[in-house]
Structure 1
Amino acid sequence: MGCSKEERALAEEQPGQPAMMERRSVEPPLAANEVPVPGDLPAFVVTGPLGACPRIVFLHGMCGHGLGYVQAFARAAREHGGVLGLQGNVPCGADGVFSKYSPDAEEQDGRIRSALSACGGEAEDLVVIGYSQGAYIAERLAERWPDRHSRLVLIGAPTTPSAARLRNIRGAVLLSGEHDATYRMKDGASGLIAAKIPAVYREMPGARHGELPDAERVMDEALDWLDASARPRPEPR
């Protein structure tokens, strides 16, 4: 039995609709891309699911470079909301390839907010991952703005993380390499737990300071722990 002109027209239009929906749901390539930040250095970004702006910030160590770290756990980062690697703003050496962060927490907070804004997001209820000097900066950010920098993964911090500074955060994972100064992160985790702040200590076998072996597994487990164990996000007032 033949179809009417209207039925044939409808049949021709409908196949295009699922195709459009399918295109919208395709994940972008799993890679860290440079995102220009007005007035600052570019950030390295692995987007979250379906290209969403990251919910994780990574801060590298003294005279380091964040791109390699961000690439090393790109899959875990995407599964947990994406990651933005913020470059240090003080160059180390004339070539400017490696860098460190100025110690001004307000300056680094502003840079994070600008970088997230540049990729279409906002700095609220973030996970901040800091390695070495980055862990030091992350602790100061969480002390000043715990609603914004609410959960931490601190790796090989140069000083023992303080429960007094971090009393208002939602939770923290403290990591060190087996061949690093493990006592700092162990003592930091013990202090947080004693203060009733959700925290856990983890150790990376065989790792020295600055190393992040088996990064996908290590970061996936740390972020899973925060998802399961951090305090609930406070209700907006």
Structure 2
Amino acid sequence: MKIKACGVAAATALFCLTLGGGADAGGKEDALRATRGAQLRPLPARLGLQLARHGESPPPVSASATKMVLLHGICGEPSNSCAVFAPLTSGSLVCARADLECPAGGAMWSGGRGALERIERAMENAEGDGAGPRMLIGFSQGAYVALRAAKASPQRFVSLLLIGAFVAPTRAELETAGVVRLGLAAGDHDAAAATMRETAKTLQAAGYAATFTSLGRVGHSYVGDDPQKLARAVRWTRDGTLEGS
């Protein structure tokens, strides 16, 4: 899908939040190697918000619709993941760019205050259409940062969807953070798949609302072998059900 630049509009349903440019590294191994031993430079805080949205005329957003923030993986660009997730959302979607620039292009999350402030700014933009339920989505490095952000801001996010990461939060940690529902997803060939599957089982056994969704015969990616698999993961995390759109 094509993303085009646009201004801020209250009726904008699906849009990406980026702060600065950069080449698309997509989180690939060569980008990871380029960051080892390199000096990472924080992206300037003075950069203004550059918005992009999907489609010519997005439908208006209900004030009660879920507001989503998406965190990309290491040395990635938000435009890539935003293009995949935008058609799956029914509320506002803001895709935040990470706060450290990768030498080979793209950006990565520091995990510090700068990252948390970036996420908060993204959520404030998502809430421009009304203060509905808040959902945080993270892929790879973005999943670790999403979990940390939820813990750092109790009651801020109702649900989390974490993809392709070795995460194992407890029921107590999630309830303390005010997260009532946790979606986990990974490709069958993702090294983190077994851990995520076991985390979901452990939480379910503890009486917590969690589920694991296989993205099929793929590796470390949020793009499954069938688009409906990611759609189901988003839908369950958002609504707690597989029914509906």
Q: In 2, Cα distance between the equivalents of 1:215 and 1:144?
A: 34
What amino acid maps onto 2:140 in structure 1?
Answer: S
User: Aligned match of 1:157 in 153, 161, 165?
Assistant: 165
CA 201–115 in structure 1, closer or farther in 2 if over 3 Å, else same = closer
In the TM superposition, what are the counterparts of 1:59-138 in structure 2 within 5 Å? 59-77=71-89, 79=90, 81-93=91-103, 97-104=105-112, 106-118=113-125, 120=128, 125-138=133-146
In the TM superposition, what are the counterparts of 1:1-237 in structure 2 within 5 Å? 32=15, 39-40=46-47, 42=49, 46=53, 49-50=59-60, 55-77=67-89, 79=90, 81-93=91-103, 97-104=105-112, 106-118=113-125, 120=128, 125-167=133-175, 168-181=178-191, 182-213=193-224, 216-229=227-240
What amino acid maps onto 2:148 in structure 1?
Answer: R
Deviations 1:176-223 (A, max 9, x none): 111012111112112222332211111011211134136752343123
Task: Please state whether the residue corresponding to 1:197 is helix, strand or coil.
Answer: coil
What amino acid maps onto 1:61 in structure 2?
Answer: G
Q: In 1, Cα distance between the equivalents of 2:83 and 2:109?
A: 20
Q: What residue ranges of structure 2 are gaps of 5+ in the alignment?
A: 1-10, 21-44
Deviations 1:131-172 (A, max 9, x none): 111110111122222311220111011343443422341101
CA 201–34 in structure 1, closer or farther in 2 if over 3 Å, else same = closer
Contact 1:31/1:71 (<8 A) preserved: no
Task: Please state whether the residue corresponding to 1:127 is helix, strand or coil.
Answer: strand
Query: TM-score of the superposition, structure 2-length normalised?
Result: 0.67
Query: TM-score of the superposition, structure 1-length normalised?
Result: 0.69
What amino acid maps onto 2:186 in structure 1?
Answer: S
Equivalent pairs, count: 198
CA 60–33 in structure 1, closer or farther in 2 if over 3 Å, else same = closer
What amino acid maps onto 1:185 in structure 2?
Answer: M
Task: Please state whether the residue corresponding to 1:187 is helix, strand or coil.
Answer: helix
Distance apart, 1:33 and its partner CA: 5.2
What amino acid maps onto 1:67 in structure 2?
Answer: S
What amino acid maps onto 2:121 in structure 1?
Answer: S
Distance apart, 1:111 and its partner CA: 1.7
Of 183-192 and 214-223, more deviation after overlay is shown by 214-223
Contact 2:14/2:53 (<8 A) preserved: yes
CA 147–99 in structure 1, closer or farther in 2 if over 3 Å, else same = same
Task: Please state whether the residue corresponding to 1:174 is helix, strand or coil.
Answer: strand
What amino acid maps onto 1:143 in structure 2?
Answer: K
Contact 2:16/2:82 (<8 A) preserved: no
- Structure with higher helix content: 1
Contact 1:44/1:85 (<8 A) preserved: no
CA 178–99 in structure 1, closer or farther in 2 if over 3 Å, else same = same
RMSD over aligned Cα atoms: 3.2
Deviations 1:56-79 (A, max 9, x none): 0111111122211110132212x2
Q: In 1, Cα distance between the equivalents of 2:237 and 2:83?
A: 21
Aligned to 1:22: none
Q: In 1, Cα distance between the equivalents of 2:50 and 2:217?
A: 30
